[in-house]
Amino acid sequence: MRTLFALALVLVAPVARAADKPNVLFVSVDDLNDWVGPLAGHAQVKTPHLDALAARGTTFTNAHCQAPLCNPSRTSVLTGLRPGTTGVYALQPWFRTSEKLKDHVTLFQAYANGGYATLSTGKIFHGPYPPKEARAAEVGTFGPGGTFRTLPKAKLVETPDPIRAMDWGAYPEKDEDCFDYDIATWASAKLKEMPKDPWFFAVGFQHPHVPCFAPQKWFDLYPADKLKLPPVKADDRDDLPRFASYLHWKLPEPRLKWLQDAKQWEPLVRSYLASISFVDAQIGRVLAALKDSGHEKNTIVVLWSDHGWHLGEKGITGKNTLWERSTRVPLIFAGPGVSANAKCDRPAELLDMYPTLLDLCGLPANATVEGVSLVPQLKDAKAARERPAITTHNPGNHAVRTEKWRYIVYADGSEELYDRAADPHEWTNLAKEPKFAEVKKGLAKWAPAKSAAPLPGSQSRLLTFNNGVPVWEGKAIGKDDAFPEK
CB neighbours of 475 closer than 8 A, spacing ≥ 6?
Answer: none
Phi-psi label, residue 312: left if phi above 0, alpha if psi -120 to 50, beta otherwise: left
- Selecting among 42, 49, 64, 70, the annotated active-site residue is 70
Contact 417/439 with Cβ under 8 angstroms? yes
> In terms of DSSP bridges, do strands 317-318 and 310-311 run parallel, antiparallel, or are they unpaired?
antiparallel
Contact 447/409 with Cβ under 8 angstroms? yes
Tell me the residue ranges of DSSP E strands in 7-99. Answer: 23-29, 57-60, 63-64
CB neighbours of 294 closer than 8 A, spacing ≥ 6?
Answer: none
Tell me: cis bond preceding 131? Omega within 30 of 0 counts: no
- Selecting among 126, 295, 307, 398, the annotated active-site residue is 126
| Whole-angstrom distance, CA of residue 54 vs CA of residue 38 | 7
Closest CA to 320 of 101, 65, 102, 144: 65
| Whole-angstrom distance, CA of residue 407 vs CA of residue 417 | 5
Contact 457/228 with Cβ under 8 angstroms? no
| 65 in catalytic set | no
Helices and strands (DSSP H and E) totals, the chain: 15, 21
CB neighbours of 31 closer than 8 A, spacing ≥ 6?
Answer: 208, 209, 210, 305, 306, 307, 308, 309, 319
| Whole-angstrom distance, CA of residue 166 vs CA of residue 210 | 6
| 393 in catalytic set | no
Contact 321/393 with Cβ under 8 angstroms? yes
- The residues assigned a catalytic role are 70, 126
